[in-house]
Amino acid sequence: MSDSPAPLADPHLVFDAADGRRDLVILGSTGSIGTQAIDLVLRNPDRFRVTALSAAGGRVALLAEQARRLGVTTVAVAAEDAVPALRTALRDQYGAGEPLPEILAGPDAATALAASDCHTVLNGITGSIGLAPTLAALKAGRTLALANKESLIVGGPLVKALAAPGQIIPVDSEHAALFQALAAGTRADVRKLVVTASGGPFRGRTREELADVTREQALAHPTWAMGPVITINSATLVNKGLEVIEAHLLYDIPFDRIEVVVHPQSYVHSMVEFSDGSTLAQATPPDMRGPIAIGLGWPERIPDAAPAFDWTAASTWEFFPLDTDAFPSVGLARHVGGLGGTAPAVFNAANEECVDAFLAGQLPFNGIMDTVTAVVSEHGTPAPGTSLSVADVLEAETWARARARELSAKATAEARA
């Protein structure tokens, strides 16, 4: 391991903050990660100052409220047609004569903010549209608190080419857990990474028993409250497959030394097994404010960032092996991660389309992974040594989305015939 590249996420390295508060840019401020990050910032005004916010543009009233409470200088929305409503919302929030924040709009607005003057960029955007902001933040030398796993997965070589060792601090609960556990030893001491999965709402069911599950059942996650796409990804365990690829890229650990184990309580967020047989687990009650606090504050810890366990109350922690027959997504993710090139982008894009089709009642639950597998198979194997560009990623995603829609429509037509 000592001769392999330095990991992108390394708890022994961190870019130093300037004296006083850390200046932050929050991308995806009106989403789940963004709103919880703002809660942390407002409770710790002596540690953090937010200079800019970005959002998609669907919740302009909330964005305007956030801007006023944080006193930011710039706000950005991806949807240009949201600007008039945003400007009105800002005027409603600010007093007469108070200067309004600068407004940026369009698909490149978040990317511009990611390169702006700050210490840390929190990328809480959902989906592969977060790739350009991730690259911009790294190129500008910012510390990147990364909640947007898709940008690393679809653009792995591009991200690795730009990131300095330790420049990325992961915000996913699983990768924040690995990040913290890895601080206990050297890379040469690491034998295995163990990524935990709740198992979602269908833990224990066979593939046959999953054939007729409904949208409502799939959205009823037993542990976490999340958006619909990530909730379905947790039900299929695609999310866990993406996290395996992410762990490989972040920590430069081979796929055969990254294991997935089902842990229904979601108390242990992931574990590191060391060469002496010791396993270190990072555990907290399920709450994303803990991982967000690591991303924003490391190497310092933010007091009372999230609830702690009540050790006076009895509890049971269970662990089960992954059922790879009922949930083939992790194995397929390992496969595309090993292929590299545009294969992970094809996997991710096809899955997003299939999740949309399932949510719209156009594809059965098992059809999600069946269709994704077919699209990945058609994409084929990239040529050895092939370089990757942002244009390559976008082209592969466009093809994968179109092909997934075609196959989903064909499956729907055949089912109705």
Closest CA to 283 of 260, 255, 311: 311
- With cut-offs at 50, 70 and 90, classify the pLDDT of residue 18: low
Q: Which fold has domain 22-172?
A: Rossmann fold (3.40.50)
- Per the annotation, binding residues for Mn(2+) are 172, 174, 243
With beta carbons less than 8 A apart as the criterion, state whether 30 and 63 touch. Answer: yes
Q: DSSP label at 121?
A: E
CA-to-CA distance for 184 and 172, rounded, in angstroms? 19
What is the reported pLDDT for 178?
98
pTM above 0.85, yes or no: yes
Binding site members for 1-deoxy-D-xylulose 5-phosphate: 149, 173-174, 198, 221, 234, 239-240, 243
Distance between CA atoms of residues 414 and 203, nearest Å: 29
> What is the C-alpha separation between 19 and 308, in angstroms, rounded?
30
- Binding-site residue positions for NADPH: 30-33, 56, 148, 150, 227
The CATH number corresponding to 176-416 among 3.30.310.50, 2.102.10.10, 1.10.1740.10, 1.10.10.10 equals 1.10.1740.10
The DSSP code sequence of 155-203 is THHHHHHHPPTT-EEE-SHHHHHHHHHHTTS-GGGEEEEEEEE--GGGT
DSSP state of 94: S
Exposed / middle / buried, residue 137 (Cβ in 10 Å: 0-12, 13-18, 19+): buried
Residue 310 is classified by DSSP as -
Rounded CA-CA distance 127/125 in Å is: 7
For 48-82, write each residue's pLDDT tens digit.
Answer: 999 999 999 999 999 999 999 999 999 999 999 99
Around Cβ 98, how many Cβ atoms within 10 Å?
Answer: 10
Domain boundaries, the chain: 22-172, 176-416
pLDDT (tens digit, 9 = 90+) per residue, 349-397? 999 999 999 999 999 999 999 999 999 999 987 766 668 899 999 999 9
The identity of residue 402, as a single letter, is A
Please report, in range form, the residues annotated as the binding site.
30-33, 56, 148-150, 172-174, 198, 221, 227, 234, 239-240, 243
Q: Which DSSP letter does residue 256 get?
A: G
Tokens 């555990």 appear where? 283
Phi and psi dihedrals of 22, rounded to 5? -85, 130
Task: Say what the pLDDT of residue 6 is.
Answer: 73
